[in-house]
Amino acid sequence: MLLPLGASLALGSLAQTCLGSSIPRTTPCSSLTVTPPEGATLINATATERYNVTYDGPTYNGVARSIDICDVEVFLTHGDAGDAVRFSIYLPLTGWNGRWQGTGGGGFAAGGFDFELVPAVSSGYSAGATDAGVPLDGNTDVWYNSTQLVDNFVYLSFHEMAVLGKDLSEKFYGKRPEYSYWFGCSTGGRQGMSEAQRYPEDYDGIFAGAPAINWDKLAMADYWPLTAQDEGGDPVSICKLGAIGNASIDACDLLDGAADGLISNPLKCHFDAKSVVGTEVQCDGSTTTITERDAIVWTKIRDGFKDENGDFLWYGLQPGANYQVQAIQPGFLVSIQWIRDFLLQNPSLDVSHVNQTELVGLFHQSVSDFGGLWGTDNPDLSAFSARGGKILTWHGWADDIISPLGTLDYWQRVVDLAGGQEKTDDFYRVFMAPGLGHCGNGPGPQIPTDNLAPLVEWVEKGKAPESIFFSGNGQSRNICKFPKELQYSGSGNVSDAGSWECV
């Protein structure tokens, strides 16, 4: 079945920088032929010139201008699996900058299509997206038990997309892309890290925002706030959880030297929620009082998923994050789907109230049965590094879906295996953004308009970024390369990036 276009939570990229003059096409669009990647069989392919293609709506990867493209639509299958994987490869009719860009997805949707492709082509890239053969609405009921579709989604389809995209670019323009880049956030970030780990030859540069690596652990830990809510009483309202969170910001705001409403490094915030027990807050037009249980629930969510003995299993949300998505029924849908469909293999099951003992058991099942395939947390990036590959990651300290500590856990394991931070900095750099939510949003400065620009500079000119400029919500910051953090300089407007330094 051929699936329609859809949108998903994923981020794409852009960089208008040209390698020289734009490269003209040498083959008519309608004459293009598709060579299936190894192990795949072609179902159908069309190549059509389209003019004045636009995307109406917010984008996270630059301005979506009107573009003229050769739109190559490809459908592949694998053996007798019966899958039909869609690939959209957009080739600009004019102004190609000699680069290829792969774009990622979000949640259980493998790609964002025009949401990312139009801005990417607007910046001169040939670009691609794929649905991995699964629904773009994120529904997993129809594919959780298909080995081929799972493989497609976890790692295979976006590798095949890179093969197809670079080959079609060469056929259309008469030369292969000189550089290839990936950009994605969340699932798109995990996809990029999978490329570096599994197929290090696919991309020269990878920008992986808030990557959903450690999938087998984080998918379970994202359910933990619901369990913490159910243990020992009625659920705590989001109003009370938010009030405690605001108190944590007030308590730790000045740790970076300025009262800006943001915590520059939550790892230094040792706020005790019990300190606000007895405080009256306004919720839904009435006065209520924060109780000891309210404080306990907030602390359990912050401290992360633990077993019945108090042993750590995975990281929690940090002070400053919004607990709405995970801690209030019905909870985070991706975690619900993971437990219901993949672990218990019963799409009709109600898993809205899983207790701690049950959740611990499911966590260990998730790690043992799915970690090897889904985890995408192999710290050995030596093959990618050896060929000169570069990875940039940003992650918001206020991420309300993927704990930023999971990214730092992975970064530290890469550092340990690579032989230290200095060696790791040669190919992998992480930037932690105060007040940034999941792939954007949150009260802090927002992600760059041009996320690939610093990566292109690093890959093509050897200029490794020490900071990345974020701006929004009336504030700007030069986000520091971890482990450095922002500190107020002591003078200047606290809302301006120039008043802060990396220490």
Per the annotation, the verdict on 311 as an active-site residue is no
Per the annotation, the verdict on 13 as an active-site residue is no
Report CA 488 to chain centroid distance, whole Å.
29
Element containing residue 72 per DSSP (H, E): strand 67-77
Question: Which of 390, 459, 395, 454 lies closest to 424 in space, CA to CA?
Answer: 390
Largest CA distance in the chain: 73
Catalytic residue among 385, 438, 467, 476: 438
For residue 187, the SS3 value is helix
DSSP string, 95-132: -B-SEEEEE--BTTB---THHHHHHHHHTT-EEEEE-T
Other C-beta atoms lying within 10 Å of the C-beta of residue 56: 8
Question: What residues have CB less than 8 Å from 436, skipping those under 6 apart?
Answer: 394, 395, 396, 397, 398, 399, 442, 444, 445, 446, 447, 470
For residue 311, the SS3 value is coil
Q: How many residues does the chain have?
A: 503
Enter the tokens of residue 288. Answer: 């209520």
∠ CA 189-194-195 to the nearest 5 degrees?
A: 100
For residue 464, the SS3 value is coil
Q: What sign for the dihedral angle of Cα 161, 167, 172, 178?
A: positive
Contact 308, 356 (CB under 8 A): yes
Residue 50 DSSP one-character state: E
- Hey, what's the torsion of the CAs at 134, 400, 409, 184, to 10 degrees? 40
Contact 304, 223 (CB under 8 A): no
Q: Is the peptide bond before 319 cis (omega within 30 degrees of 0)?
A: no
Contact 174, 26 (CB under 8 A): yes
Other C-beta atoms lying within 10 Å of the C-beta of residue 24: 12
Q: Is the peptide bond before 37 cis (omega within 30 degrees of 0)?
A: no
Per the annotation, the verdict on 353 as an active-site residue is no
Compute the radius of gyration of the chain from its Cα atoms.
23
DSSP string, 194-231: HHHHH-TTS-SEEEEES---SHHHHHHHTTHHHHHHHT
Question: What residues have CB less than 8 Å from 309, skipping those under 6 apart?
Answer: none
The span from the CA of 230 to the CA of 225, in Å, is 9
Catalytic residue among 253, 399, 400, 450: 399
Q: Annotated catalytic sites, by residue?
A: 186, 399, 438
